[in-house]
Structure 1
Amino acid sequence: MSLKAKNLGIVRRALAPAILFALATALPAQAGENWLTGPEQEFFAALGVDARINGTTVKRTADLDAWPAIAQRAQQPLKGRIQAISAAYQRMPATEAERKELESIQLRLQAAMKAEMGNVVLGAFFGKDSFDQARESTANMMNVEDEQGRPIVRRAWDLQRTMLLRGLEARKTADKNLAEITDALARRTGKVLPADDFEWSMMSPGKTVTLYGHVGDRPLKSPVVQLTLYRKSTGGQWIAANGISSGIGMGLGVMNERDAASGTVLSAAQEEAMNLPLATTFVLPDLEAGSRVTVEIELPLAATLAIERAELQVWTDQGKLQQEEIAGLDAVQRRAQQDLEKERAAAQGQPGPLRQMFQPPAAQAQADPRDLTRDQQKALAQQKAVQESFANQSLKMAKNAISAKNDQMAKYYLQDTIRKAPDSAAARTAKRLLKKYE
């Protein structure tokens, strides 16, 4: 994935999920009346939905650009809330200047990698001099400068952080207005309905999530439905991973403390974004009693593995109902896990170059060396030498961390030594040193 696509993708995925909003005025509504005003109906129609109701397809394409015009036809406080939400969404994506700068960074980084990558690869396979050269080449790539003399890697981190923090602030603004709007909807009828008036479940017939709804014994006019998916907390893992990579970079001499600090701030913003709940809201046509509804949610099946809890709320002319748990989520997650395991098994059957380097083919690893051809024996010996070379470097980093009394980094590198060459002398030394951390 390109640097540009990666940076923009973080903002889009984490900060701009499909949040569609239920709007209300302060006027009371009677059951059976058109409880949504004209501007509200326009607003919801512009938000879009892809559903099947009693076998009939209802498909509306989202047109968020229509929000400003719809807001002009609305009364306060609805007008101000639509405008605030629209403005917040406008601030989420990268600006044109940011996109151009990211493109420039990408081109410069590609040129640096093309010029230096050969030395980096050589250093991974051959002795100390080549390793030192590889370290210097890696530092050269880290320190390539832009037109203003700023290291482009650090600048890329700064850009990501700027976009994420701006997006997080915009998301908070949108969420605040959403809370005010949904509170107004709840006050409009002042009634709480039992969940079986419009009961929902979740299934996964394809590669995305599907919601199934069943209306109870009473008809519902223009129900507004909101699904909220609460993610499992990452618990600081992203920040910790950044700390490890920064430690490696500083240990290799290719990153300084300022670079590490910049990466830490970025990883904190990324983790905050990753922990935000995902929400989607849509409006449906009038529904008769007993109606069955199917709604396709644009959420990949694999993404449900990060979901801890699902909640669903519905606002109608009859009142509000809420499901704090949605049946079927566990089954969807089991299906996602099964698909993931199948993909992993297929990937293991077709190992890439790095996997081949660290995991020799099982048939060769378990065979008697005398049964292998000369070429196979030579290839196996080369793989073993490469593994031991990497293990020796990790052991060296571990000893440096021990000398610096950095227990976290020492433990990481000792475990890394064992992973890279379990049967090597370096691994035996690492196991002995690792006992003090158990």
Structure 2
Amino acid sequence: MIDYEKIISPVVSALPPSGIRKFFDIVAEMDDAISLGVGEPDFTTPWAIREAGIYSLEKGQTHYTANAGLMELREEICNYYDRKFDIKYNPKKEVLVTVGGSEAIDLMVRTLINPGDEVLIPEPCFVCYRPCTVMAGGVPVPIETKEEDNFRLLPEQLKEKITDKTKLLILPYPNNPTGGIMSKEDLEAIAEVLRGTNIMVLSDEIYAELRYDGEKHIPFSNFEGMKERTVVVSGFSKTFAMTGWRLGYALGPERIIKLMTKIHQYGIMSAPTTAQFAAIEALKSCDDDVAEMRREYNYRRRYIVDGFRAMGLSCFEPLGAFYVFPCIKSTGMTSEEFCQNLLMEEKVAVVPGNAFGESGEGFIRCSYAYSIENIQEALKRIEKFVKRHSK
């Protein structure tokens, strides 16, 4: 009889399951339930993208690509960043196509982190940064961002956390779960703290196209001296409604991208070929589709924020991504209690804020990447629940 406890990695065994998927799995087996829990666009991938994928199959383009991805795709990614964000990358040396943005995050962390190295992580944040750090042997160092600061990372907070063991800063803006953004001035202040250090930056910019303040997103690598120390991580899931295609990418210094590609070639080989051909079309011809989806998200954003405020819950106004992060402290329940009871009593699934770090306690995350009809019905049920439990 094999004793699994003696052979399973204690590091992996100790990792908590994703707090996002927990409630999603329950909803999947519950009749008449509404989920605002998963960050997945309700839009179907635009037809031009799907057609390009179908056409690639009809042409028999079903073989491995280069480890780093199709050269044409890498060129289009570089063209896209030049056209949209005024920054140039070399498609031959500074781009890696990955299986979703999450793989790019994992590769970046594993490329840099040795046991004991510290990784600075502004929280609340996406659930994978801490586990990726732990699995690489690193030490996650959370930096609590606060609602009164619009969930921005402040330069004085960053300074306080830097030690001689600090190797990497993760910069997750626009932010999941809060919807917070960083202005040009905010990012410049962070860049100033980093100048003269040997700290690298993982800038997760998967929501770069989903910003609602009228300003254009600025990649962190655009700031003086930051390109050499920054790996930008992004992908196609959110911007182009391509979650199931599983395609992301990393842009960064040649030396770092080369090493990330080395890990990628052993663990993955190459990203899905059909998805790569589809992504080429996305970058070439789907600006209008992205703009239309952004307009719809913006309408839903205003609607859901107003809805939470009308029922008496404080709700920070998100200016990026497609999430709201209302405060539920007034109910007297913890985030877990609120979400569990809401699901059982009103059949609405949202995600407890503490799934995104301890500083998320007292909040819940709701995605507005769902139809307005679902959002309307969910808000009605949540309001009934809040009134029932109000003190």
TM over 0.5: no
Q: Tell me which protein shows more helix as a share of its residues.
A: 1
* TM-score (norm. length: structure 1): 0.21
Q: Which has the higher contact order (CA 8 A, sep 6+)?
A: 2
* TM-score (norm. length: structure 2): 0.23
Highest CA radius of gyration, 1 or 2? 1
